[in-house]
């Protein structure tokens, strides 16, 4: 099939949304499909890291000053999306895709518009929801005006009902999307991980620590992901401040890192924390594999209903994982997880101290996690997506 992915985001950025878009596209390419991605003018070139025939088509660089790659709303994206609509119209005429795979709520809106623009083609669309539109905006500090929140809740429900079928990354989002759809066609296409990439680093922990200038003799706790409020990074930094055990060393990878570096300096934590920024997605196997413990402090109090792809990366690295007691996390980890019912700095510090003190527990949890994640490869996800496409086209 010819697949046109609509990605209203600066693809490729080294974070969760983009990893899902890229890995879905690559899995489909490996199955023999022709994949084109329509996206913004800015973003990294995936061909610097992997050999692929995925055709990334960008809008013109009219907003040349727009260089934002981190997650979060921005009014300028409205202008970028207008340019993206123009690009998608061109690509539909030239590429003649069999299906539009629409990422994020903005992409679903664009796909819906294309059905009207090309009404005679009877275009088929798949809506790929990575989370909640309103939940995501609120988690970034938007929609504090009551009437604005009401409008966007109505808009989100309308968008949730669009497309010939929908897929969600998080099990927490299934019922919400299904409740907005007359056809009830919602599929859980979870995030994945390439476990084979991690295999070569299993026995190279000492070498990796030397490479990244991390203490060889200490217990390393790793966090790799966005360094923004709704990911729980504030709580993690507070926990580091509370932990007095000098044998614990923290590696924090992600962006934007300026405020994290400043926090570490202001709290005299330089000898206990290393910040790796910018964080390259294709370096994750190395960075995660040098650690002994992993942490994902995202609580989802903002009700974003997003899955956590970083947990799958940790699982592939054989790591015990401290995370929030959320349905999506429990679905991934089961007994392999070390859960927090309430995510705060004190609880994170307490459980990390427990994991560091009990090496046998760490090893057991790590092995359980690795065994579970072996069934969550991107190749399986590509086959599931292919099945959804076929059902839509029928």
pLDDT, one tens digit per residue, over 123-179 is 999 999 988 887 777 766 666 667 777 888 889 899 999 999 999 988 888 998 999
Confidence of residue 303 (pLDDT cuts 50, 70, 90): low
Q: What is the pLDDT of residue 327?
A: 85
Asked whether the domain spanning 195-373 has the same topology as the one spanning 2-192+377-393, the reply is: yes
Q: What is the pLDDT of residue 131?
A: 81
Q: What is the pLDDT of residue 33?
A: 97
CA–CA gap between residue 292 and residue 320 (Å, rounded): 8
CA–CA gap between residue 290 and residue 204 (Å, rounded): 8
**323 pLDDT above the threshold of 90:** yes
Bridge partners, 166 (sequence order):
127, 186
304 vs 348: which has the higher pLDDT: 348
Q: Is the peptide bond before 378 cis (omega within 30 degrees of 0)?
A: no
Q: What is the tens place of the pLDDT at every residue in 67-108?
A: 888 777 778 999 999 999 999 999 999 999 999 999 999 999
The residues, ordered by sequence, that sit 6+ positions from 160 with a Cβ below 8 Å of its Cβ are 127, 129, 166, 176, 177, 180, 181
Mean pLDDT of all residues in 236-247: 94
Q: How far is CA 167 from the centre of its chain?
A: 15
Could you tell me the residue ranges of all domains in the chain? Answer: 2-192+377-393, 195-373
Do the beta carbons of residue 282 and residue 252 sit within 8 Å?
no
CA torsion sign, 88 to 92 to 95 to 98? positive
Structure tokens at 199: 């295999």
CA distances from 326 to 5, 146, 301, 307, 330 (A): 30, 28, 10, 10, 6
Q: Would you give the end-to-end CA distance of the chain in angstroms?
A: 13
User: What fold does the segment set 2-192+377-393 form as a domain?
Assistant: Rossmann fold (3.40.50)
CB atoms within 10 A of CB 365: 23
Do the beta carbons of residue 135 and residue 304 sit within 8 Å?
yes
In terms of Cα–Cα distance, which of 66, 6, 26, 22 is closest to 42? 66
| Percent of the chain residues past pLDDT 70, beyond the cut | 96
Q: How far is CA 383 from the centre of its chain?
A: 20
CATH number, domain 195-373:
3.40.50.2000
Which backbone phi and psi does 37 adopt, to 5 degrees?
-120, 120
In the block, tokens 């070390």 appear at: 338
Do the beta carbons of residue 71 and residue 14 sit within 8 Å?
no
Identify the H or E element spanning 99.
Answer: strand 99-103
CA–CA gap between residue 284 and residue 273 (Å, rounded): 18
């Amino acid at each position: 099939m010819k697949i046109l992915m609509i990605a209203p985001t600066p693809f490729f950025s080294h974070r969760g949304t983009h990893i899902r878009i890229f890995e879905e596209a690559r899995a489909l390419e490996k199955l023999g499909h022709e994949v084109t991605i329509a996206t913004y003018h800015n973003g990294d070139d995936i061909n610097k890291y992997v050999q692929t025939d995925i055709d990334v088509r960008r809008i013109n660089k009219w907003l040349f000053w727009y260089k934002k790659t981190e997650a979060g709303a921005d009014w300028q994206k409205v202008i970028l999306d207008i340019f993206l609509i123009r690009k998608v119209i061109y690509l539909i005429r030239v590429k003649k895709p069999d299906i539009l795979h629409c990422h994020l709520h903005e992409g679903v809106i664009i796909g819906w518009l294309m059905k009207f623009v090309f009404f005679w083609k009877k275009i088929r669309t798949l809506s790929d929801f990575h989370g909640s539109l309103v939940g995501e905006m609120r988690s970034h500090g938007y929609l504090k005006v009551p009437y604005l929140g009401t409008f966007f809740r109505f808009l989100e429900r309308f968008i949730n009902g669009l497309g010939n079928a929908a897929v969600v990354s998080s099990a927490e989002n299934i019922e919400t999307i299904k409740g907005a759809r007359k056809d009830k066609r919602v599929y859980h296409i979870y995030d994945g991980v390439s476990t084979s990439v991690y295999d070569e680093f299993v026995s190279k922990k000492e070498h990796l620590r030397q490479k990244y200038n991390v203490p060889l003799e200490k217990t390393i706790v790793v966090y790799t992901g966005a360094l923004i409020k709704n990911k729980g990074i504030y709580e993690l930094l507070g926990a580091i401040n509370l932990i007095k055990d000098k044998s614990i060393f923290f590696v924090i990878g992600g962006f934007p890192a300026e405020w994290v570096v400043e926090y570490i300096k202001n709290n005299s934590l330089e000898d206990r924390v290393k910040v790796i920024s910018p964080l390259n997605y294709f370096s994750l196997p190395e960075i995660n594999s040098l650690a002994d413990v992993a942490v994902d402090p995202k609580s989802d109090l903002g009700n974003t209903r997003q899955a956590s792809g970083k947990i799958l990366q940790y699982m592939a690295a054989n790591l015990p994982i401290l995370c929030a007691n959320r349905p999506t996390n429990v679905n991934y980890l089961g007994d392999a997880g070390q859960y927090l019912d309430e995510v705060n700095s004190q609880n994170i510090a307490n459980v990390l101290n427990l994991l560091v003190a009990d090496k046998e527990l760490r090893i057991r949890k790590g092995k359980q996690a690795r065994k579970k994640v072996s069934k969550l490869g991107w190749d399986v996800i590509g086959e599931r997506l292919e099945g959804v496409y076929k059902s839509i086209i029928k």
